[in-house]
Chains A and B, each alone.
Chain A
Amino acid sequence: MALPLILIIVLLVGYPALFSIHMATLNKSMERFVGFENFTFLFSRETFWMVVRQSVVFAVTAVVFKALIGFCVAHFVHNIPAKGQRKWRGMLLVPWVIPPAMSTLAWLWLFDPSYSAFNWILEGVGIAPVNWLGDPNWARFAVILVNVWFGAPFFMIMYLAALKSVPEQLYEAAAIDGANWWQKLWYVTLPMMRNIIAITVLFSLIVTFANFDIVRVLTAGGPVDQTHVFATWAFKLGIESSDLPLGAAVSLFMFPILAIAAIFILRDINQRGNEA
């Protein structure tokens, strides 16, 4: 009964993944085996190292902020009376529901050089307009901001579920012991949520690291390739410049971080298996 599942995984995930390793060792026209030439070529390029740095900065910053915002917002929702929670939760989850390619278009329009609605407000209060997508640092900020906007609700909903599963007695006991809110957070909430925080952060790290649509739609890697991440750069090289092997080589660099994350997650699953 699991045969179709195995077929899908082997044919459309396993085989291409292995094939990409093979591809990365071929020359541009894919007629000749060149060993590690594609990789040494990449290592010699300034742009490659820029992409490595940007991918890491992008993924780590975005995930940290997603987790922080998700955590805070989950607490705020948890604090208000249960009756109104559903409504707030519903509104707060909207960014996660809209297909990111579509919502990024709205951001693109909000950041537009000539018609930026944000700059319109800034000008209204007397602040100089911000060069949202034209300045490298602002552009990096913009792609991270949009990613945080899109991903934070997911964390919020996960943490909210976790918060609800923390037994109320623990807080009552802590209150009797005279714990302040900070101590309650540190000694009760965080330990209880440790697992779920770890899992969501790892998951999100993988997804964010492999992000494509937001960067592609918002900046397409510009200005001067300074917002490219692995996926968008691989697309640019592989599909747009018809250098499939080089593109494959670039995307393979996502593999190490995925492997590390996978090991952590596997360990967690095994632990859970043992506990159960």
Chain B
Amino acid sequence: MAVARTSMKGDRRKAMIWSYVFLGMFVVFFLTPPVYMLITSLKSNAEISAAVSPWWIFAPTLENYVELLSSPTYLTFFRNSALVSILVVTITMLVSIPAAFALSRMKFWGSATLATGVFLTYLIPETLLFIPLFKIFVFVHDLTGIELINRWWVLVILYPTLTVPFCTWIMIGYFGSIPKELDEAALIDGAGYLQILTKIFIPVALPGIIAATIFAFTVSWAQFLYPLAFTTSADQLVLPVGIITTLIRGDVFTWGQIMTGALLGAAPPLIIYAFLMDYYIAGLTAGATKG
């Protein structure tokens, strides 16, 4: 018996060592691109074009950072991205919290179908919708004179289609786990639906709301297709499209700047993630543990 136990312990140890080895390999694979971004961003153009070791910085410089952060164009992209993301997150929360509340508590005609419908919407990719949307925007312009194409705020209208379904879905899950007795008690005490929502549901489901917020933010920050198809002027662009279409300048390579731009563009989600990783993961895996 004692022998068996020690061999089992030995197996565990071995498994653990191998696990570390493989984890190390995967971390290298997973982190190579971002690390390479950082390396390139700290090089001067001359050093990059000299084609010396790409993995080592011989003369580190912050010139790319200085140049980008003092460029009104780049700061405009940043501002647009921030504005769009903040507005989208706000809209998403204003829409999906009440909707999730209604769908999880108020049984009305079609509420079950609607819940399924919300989920299915999440499955319709934006790559299927951008062409008809483009034409619809043209119609709207012809009919009403409202310009939708090449305006950054059109993204504020579009992104919720990507964020609201999933956030509603997460929230339905969180709200569903709140015991019915709680709101029944509140109802008896004479509280209205609004009060139940603000006094009971939102505080209890706060982790879920944070997760949904992070989700909505990352999605709107990273979206690429809609801004590429619908915005073109430099002052209307958001970061991902701005970097790809204006920093890559054809003939002239500015890879130091491109990598700096990409790294700075990736920074906000990375920072949020660094501080709120546990919420983020909890949100992502919301359905997983219940399955």
Contact = CB atoms under 8 A, between A and B. Distances in A.
B224 A100 contact: yes
Interface string A145-182: 00001001110011011101100000000010000010
Interface string B240-275: 110110000000000100110011011001100110
B133 to A, nearest CB: 5
Contact of A1 (B40, B98, B116, B263): B98
Interface in A66-82: 69, 72-73, 75-77, 79-81
Nearest to A7: B95
Given A196-B288, A199-B291, A98 B123 contact: no
Interface in B218-232: 218, 221-222, 224-225, 228-229
Nearest to A6: B114
A39 interface: no
Given A5-B168, A16-B132, A79-B16, A102 B243 contact: yes
A97 B218 contact: yes
B164 to A, nearest CB: 6
B120 interface: yes
A213 B221 CA distance: 13
B132 A106 contact: no
Closest 5 pairs (CB-CB, A-B): A210-B125, A99-B222, A231-B127, A161-B285, A5-B99
A161 B278 CA distance: 12
Contacts of A76: 18-20, 22-23, 26
Given A80-B20, A106-B262, A231-B127, A19 B132 contact: yes
B158 interface: yes
B7 to A, nearest CB: 12
A212 B243 contact: no
A9 B123 contact: no
A50 interface: no
A165 B243 CA distance: 42
B75 interface: no
Nearest to A249: B131
Chain A contact surface mostly: helix
B161 interface: yes
Contact of B30 (A6, A95, A158, A254): A95
Contacts, number: 276
A248 B19 CA distance: 47
Size class of A's contact patch? 35 or more
A115 B54 contact: yes
A60 B131 CA distance: 25
B33 interface: yes
A212 B258 contact: no
Contacts of B48: 115
Interface of B: 8, 15-16, 18-20, 22-23, 26-27, 29-34, 36-37, 40, 48, 51, 53-55, 94-96, 98-99, 101-103, 106, 111, 114, 116-121, 123-136, 157-158, 160-161, 164-165, 168, 193, 218, 221-222, 224-225, 228-229, 239-241, 243-244, 255, 258-259, 262-263, 265-266, 269-270, 273-274, 277, 281, 284-285, 287-289, 291
A235 interface: yes
B258 A5 contact: no
Contact of A88 (B23, B121, B165): B23
B168 A101 contact: no
A20 B129 contact: yes
Interface in A198-245: 199-200, 206-207, 209-213, 216-217, 230-231, 234-235, 238-239, 244
A243 B106 CA distance: 46
Contact of A91 (B30, B157, B224): B30
B127 A120 contact: no
A90 B36 CA distance: 19
A69 B26 contact: yes
B269 A98 contact: yes
A106 B33 contact: yes
Contact of A98 (B99, B165, B266): B266
Given A6-B114, A16-B133, 17 more contacts: A1-B106, A2-B102, A16-B129, A75-B19, A89-B277, A95-B30, A97-B270, A97-B273, A99-B218, A99-B222, A102-B240, A103-B262, A105-B259, A158-B284, A213-B225, A248-B132, A269-B116
A101 B40 CA distance: 17
Contacts of A112: 255
Contacts of A15: 136
15 contacts: A4-B94, A13-B129, A16-B129, A16-B132, A20-B132, A80-B20, A94-B34, A103-B34, A110-B33, A157-B285, A207-B125, A210-B126, A211-B127, A216-B228, A254-B125
A106 B20 contact: no
